[in-house]
Structure 1
Amino acid sequence: MRGLPESKREPGVADYEKVICQIKDVLGARLVTAPDGSISEIHIMAGSNRNPKQIVRDVESALLIQLGITVDHKKISVVQVQGQELTGEVAEDKALYRSTCMPLRLVSLNLYTRGLEAEATVELEAGLSGTIYQGYACGPNTPERHLWLVADATLNAVEKYSCGIWNLALEDLVLVEVAHRRAALCVIVLVSREGYEYLAGVALVKGDDRQAAAQAVLRALNCRSCVYGSAG
């Protein structure tokens, strides 16, 4: 007996951008969508080694082959940047880092507990495109691990936002007392093709330890990727 056919998820903005970012010489991509969810504009930052028309054709082909989506080439714009001072993978990594330098805002976070396990979900919004990036983390259901799970879920969302050029890990996370206020302090390690570096961030607790933990992660990345925590 045949089962019911599986429902196929419609591709979202993040799916389009991920496909486009895989194309040779593409350093970054941002989409603008119409109210009905269709693509109205595709903005691409690329290196100067290839003809822009070829990049546009590659974008059309990649979206058609991987997502089954046909896009009018008139909706695609390409801006090219010079990068002669950098070569090879390092040039690609640094240019993509610059192109993804746009704000991220903490939209929501949730922590679910099921018996021995807990799961944290975090949503970050890209300020210019409005794209939502969801992060997840699961682990032991203990009070001490809950903050770590929220921080790990935040890092997972940032990794998705970076199109996979960063690998992020939480090195430490503690609650501290400073100026008679409680604060979340974290240290993370960021690994890319350039190497690795340690970053630290702190956020005051304003009633919710978990939100402070997520904001501390975003502030640790503030100088590196121009992200910021939610207001409030």
Structure 2
Amino acid sequence: MNTEIKKLIQELEGVVSCNLTGVDEIDEIHIIADKKRDPKRIVRDVETVCLVHKDFKIDHKKISIARIDSDFSEAMEGYANDRIELVSIYTENNRSRCNVEMKINGQEIKESFEAQIGENIEKLIGRSVLTILNKFVEFNLQLIVDDIFTIKGKEDLVIAQISMYNPENNMMQEKLVGAVHVNNNISLAIAKACLKAVNRKICNYL
């Protein structure tokens, strides 16, 4: 449980890294965060992630936050953001179709995707974004959407869970998690959560 919770926390907006203490249960959560967000909001996000995703309630007094200006990983994520731009994304009301417009290294890309059998709209959006990345970024691994869900609260939070596979042997290499607040546009939030999950991994390939 601790590993999954740690990954979710590390992808929260404003969190640079975190460490969890405790063996069977989490005793304390120590977080390094940037100065862009109020620490109280980060604490609320951590409480929500623990409660909703793992049905685990942690006392806010056990969550400590140290704030810094920036770090290397944040700089690298910014590097990727400069080269991958989500211009627009929308779904059509009368059919399960997702239309995506992105810029990758200055190249404008517009593609449209139909939902697969049994695929919900959230996974369709995630698959659409990752399909473009798999196609236009020279990345030696394949990105696959595992799950996308929303955590309800004062500020709704979209969580994107993504796996990286080696296409040569079809073996899963690593699981990635991205989290983004919903600001009146769930489609955009889902797409941004997917990009947040993979940015640090693909920045060296841009």
Q: TM-score, normalised by structure 2?
A: 0.51
CA contact (8 A) 2:83 2:106 kept: no
CA contact (8 A) 2:177 2:197 kept: yes
Deviation digits for residues 111-146 of structure 1 (CA, Å, limit 9, x no counterpart): 1255xx5111212212xx41023444322699x822
Amino acid at match of 1:199: L
CA contact (8 A) 1:112 1:118 kept: yes
Match runs of 1:86-97 below 5 Å:
none
1:122 matched to which residue of 2? 100
2:150 matched to which residue of 1? 175
Deviation digits for residues 15-62 of structure 1 (CA, Å, limit 9, x no counterpart): xxxxxxxxxxxxxxxxxxxxxxxxxxxxxxxxxxxxxxxxxxxxxxxx
Is residue 109 from structure 1 mapped to residue 89 from structure 2 by the alignment?
Answer: yes
2:136 matched to which residue of 1? 161
Which runs of 5 or more residues in structure 1 are unaligned? 1-99, 228-232
Amino acid at match of 1:139: A
CA contact (8 A) 1:123 1:157 kept: no
SS in 2 for 1:226: helix
- The correspondence for 2:182, drawn from 202, 205, 208, is 205
The 1:163/1:223 distance shift into structure 2, 3 A limit, reads closer
SS in 2 for 1:218: helix
The 1:113/1:207 distance shift into structure 2, 3 A limit, reads closer
1:147 matched to which residue of 2? 122
CA contact (8 A) 2:160 2:177 kept: yes
Instruction: Kindly indicate whether structure 1 or structure 2 has the higher relative contact order, using CA contacts under 8 Å at least 6 residues apart.
Output: 2
The 1:139/1:119 distance shift into structure 2, 3 A limit, reads same
- The correspondence for 2:160, drawn from 172, 180, 186, is 186
Equivalences, count: 122
Is the helix fraction higher in 1 or 2? 2
Q: TM-score, normalised by structure 1?
A: 0.46
Match runs of 1:44-63 below 5 Å:
none
State the alpha-carbon separation in 1 of the partners of residues 159 and 109 from structure 2. Answer: 23
CA contact (8 A) 1:104 1:124 kept: yes
CA contact (8 A) 1:135 1:154 kept: no
The 1:201/1:140 distance shift into structure 2, 3 A limit, reads same
Amino acid at match of 1:169: I
Deviation digits for residues 63-121 of structure 1 (CA, Å, limit 9, x no counterpart): xxxxxxxxxxxxxxxxxxxxxxxxxxxxxxxxxxxxx967201011121255xx51112
The 1:125/1:161 distance shift into structure 2, 3 A limit, reads same
